Amino acid sequence: MERIKRYLRSAAGYQAVCAKWLVLAALVGCVVGPLGGAFGLALNWANATRGAHPWLLYLLPVAGLVIVFLYHRFDPDGGGSTNQIFVSVREHKPLTLRTAPLIFVSTVATHLFGGSSGREGAALLLGGSVSGQLGRALRLENRDCRLMTMCGMAGAFSAIFGTPLAATIFTLEVVDVGSMQYAALLPCLVSALLGVFISGKMGLAPEAFVLQAEAAPTPDNLVRVIILGALLAALSIFFCELLHVTPKLYRKFFPNIYLRVAAGGVLIIALTKLLGTTDYNGAGAAVIEAAIDGEAVPYAFLLKMLFTALTLGAGFKGGEIVPIFFTGATFGCVAAPLLGLPPQLGAALGMVALFCGCTNSPLASICLAIEVFGGQCVSLFALACAVSYMLSSYFSLYREQHFLHSKL
């Protein structure tokens, strides 16, 4: 009981820190929530507008030139890569404020004119830069600015994707795999919960699907899921390497950055015309939905990887996560029936486990599965993620991701 007395003396300190972070995190949520909501609505508008006006695709090379010009002129060092946020968190260096408008405009432009990219990576930069600078404006010390950056990442990710828990755990887990900074748990969660509440009020619907087919966790289904997880691990390695290698190839053939992005735009236009479908342009939400309902083209996952690598490698902007969902869902939908699993479940497992393999964040992936699929088949999702994590080796979407423990 002596320890309780000691605690009571220090309790005021705990409560003060807790109250301070509740206020700061709520502030971040109220700032990045509307930003993330606006970003999500803008991206939905961009994808819908391109659907209604297919000729917008022909302006993709021009959009690329503008994007490259903006980055070259205003942020030559940063460059709008998701790796920036890793460095910011690890080295306690807030991102510049101009990171936010740059990534906002360039990602919306990429989607509007038919490039293939995501939005979560962009949301991390958007939220992280604004909240980090907010911390600086409030004259917080470096350590606190870092936590503010993390709150902004979680808040914006949650606002745009509607998954507060996954956004929080992803932020805690992804930078240094194996270390859990639980001190950031409450602040990030509060920002994430407010972020999704605000973006919901703005009319942005959270990502949520109902699985049309389930499977019991019987030993034979566990074996099937393990095999599917292993295939997804291999696919995640291929995806990560493709995204790392494409920029090098582009640089080799097109040393000039303007020529490079224009060539990328032309390549996307040519491929789109060749295939005669716009399924692989923009976010591809309709294709992901169809896959989770059990319908996918067998080669869709290959084409999506190609489109995404060509888009991001050329200098267009946006995240990698929605393309990962597209790739994983279409692959899983096709592969699952070969293993004796329902295609709908395969698509869902593919989406989540490919995310896990590419980002090395198994707990965030499991939370994502729970929030997106409402807790159905949670043990199968966990198993697919665990296998995908182990077999994906140290390959990662993020060059700046560190591993604290051996995977084996």
Residues making contact with its own copies (CB under 8 A): 1, 3-4, 7, 10-11, 13-15, 17-18, 22, 164-165, 168-169, 173, 177-183, 185-186, 189-190, 193-194, 196-197, 217-219, 222, 226, 230, 237-238, 241, 245, 362-363, 366-367, 370-371, 374-376, 378-379, 382-383, 386-387, 389-391, 393, 395, 404-408
C-beta of 10 vs 77, nearer to its own copies: 10
Name the residue nearer to its own copies (CB basis): 52 or 404.
Answer: 404
Closer residue to its own copies (CB): 274 or 408: 408
CB of 144 to its own copies, least distance (A): 11
Question: Could you tell me the smallest distance in angstroms from the CB atom of residue 262 to its own copies?
Answer: 26
Kindly state the tokens that stand for 276: 């005669």
How deeply is 305 buried, as exposed, middle or buried, from its count of CB atoms within 10 A (0-12, 13-18, 19+)? buried
End-to-end Cα distance, the chain: 43
Q: Given the complex with its own copies, which of 42 and 202 has the nearer CB atom?
A: 202
Q: Answer positive or negative: Cα dihedral of 29, 42, 160, 389.
A: negative
Residue 60 CB, nearest approach to its own copies (Å): 27
Shortest distance, position 403 Cβ to its own copies, whole Å? 9
Smallest gap from Cβ 206 to its own copies, in A, equals: 11
Q: Residue 276 Cβ, how far from its own copies at the closest point, in Å? A: 30
Alpha-carbon distance of 160 to 155, in angstroms, equals 9
The C-alpha atoms of residue 271 and residue 274 are separated, in whole angstroms, by 5
Tell the smallest beta-carbon distance from residue 233 to its own copies (Å): 9
Task: State the minimum distance, in angstroms, from the CB of residue 174 to its own copies.
Answer: 12
Strand, coil or helix: 208 = coil
Distances, alpha carbon 167 to alpha carbons 32, 190, 385, in Å: 13, 11, 17
Q: Find the shortest distance in angstroms from Cβ 214 to its own copies.
A: 13
The backbone region for 319, taken as left when phi is positive above 0, alpha when psi lies in -120 to 50, beta otherwise, is beta
CA distance 56 to 122: 22
Q: Minimal CA–CA distance to 198: which of 33, 40, 35, 42?
A: 33
* 108 versus 193: smaller Cβ distance to its own copies: 193
Identify which of residues 124 and 165 has a Cβ nearer to its own copies in the complex.
165
What is the number of alpha carbons within 13 Å of residue 42 lying toward its C-beta?
21
In this structure, the number of other CB atoms found within 10 A of the CB of residue 62 comes to 14
According to DSSP, the residues that pair with 177 across neighbouring strands are: 403
3-state class (DSSP) for residue 206:
coil
The nearer residue to its own copies, 101 or 200, going by C-beta atoms, is: 200
Residue whose CB is less far from its own copies, 140 or 363: 363
Residue 98 or 244: which CB sits closer to its own copies? 244
Closest-CA residue to 316 (of 30, 155, 110): 110
Nearest to 335 by CA among 224, 255, 210: 224
Among the listed residues 61, 16, 36, the one whose alpha carbon sits nearest the alpha carbon of residue 315: 61
